[in-house]
Amino acid sequence: MTQNVQLVLAALLLLQIKHYICDFVIQTPYQFMNKGIYGHPGGIIHSGTHALTTIVVFLVITPSFALGAAIVIGEFIIHYHVDWTKEQTLRRGKLVFPQSKFWWVFGFDQFLHQFTYLGIVAILAGARGL
């Protein structure tokens, strides 16, 4: 395995670990109960935590300051709106655990977050010529 492939895989692993920690370990009821209210501090704090902890991947693939800032801001915006849209879809559809459609929406939300991480790593790798 080449060093470039190792860097890309390490970056993806770090993003997945930080996602698990931010979404499932440290997310508070204040955050998850208010993500569906547009502009509520709970959702902003949650997305901000995700965006700021993305910086850990910069230890593996270091971007320029401008690119790093753009990635952090971009992740904040994307994460916030993916979560808000998930909450709106669940509420408007009256979807709750354990309904199958609840899991479809929840799973798609998680898929979109992982897809965002693929994009982040692709941007970082491309900028470094990996």
- What pLDDT does residue 59 have? 93
Cα separation, 44 vs 94, in Å, equals: 24
The two tokens of residue 95 are: 């979807």
- What pLDDT does residue 130 have? 86
Give pLDDT tens digits along the chain (130 positions): 999 999 999 999 999 999 999 999 999 999 999 999 999 999 999 999 999 999 999 999 999 999 999 999 999 999 999 999 999 999 999 999 999 999 999 999 999 999 999 999 999 999 999 8
pTM for the whole thing?
Answer: 0.95
The two tokens of residue 62 are: 């270091």
Cα separation, 93 vs 46, in Å, equals: 23
Give me the domain span that covers residue 20: 3-128
Which residue from 61, 50, 56 is spatially nearest to 21, judged by alpha carbons?
50
Residue with token string 């979560």: 83
Containing 122, the helix (H) or strand (E) segment is helix 100-128
The total of structural domains in the chain comes to: 1
Per the rule left: phi > 0, alpha: psi between -120 and 50, beta: everything else, 94 is left
- What pLDDT does residue 85 have? 98
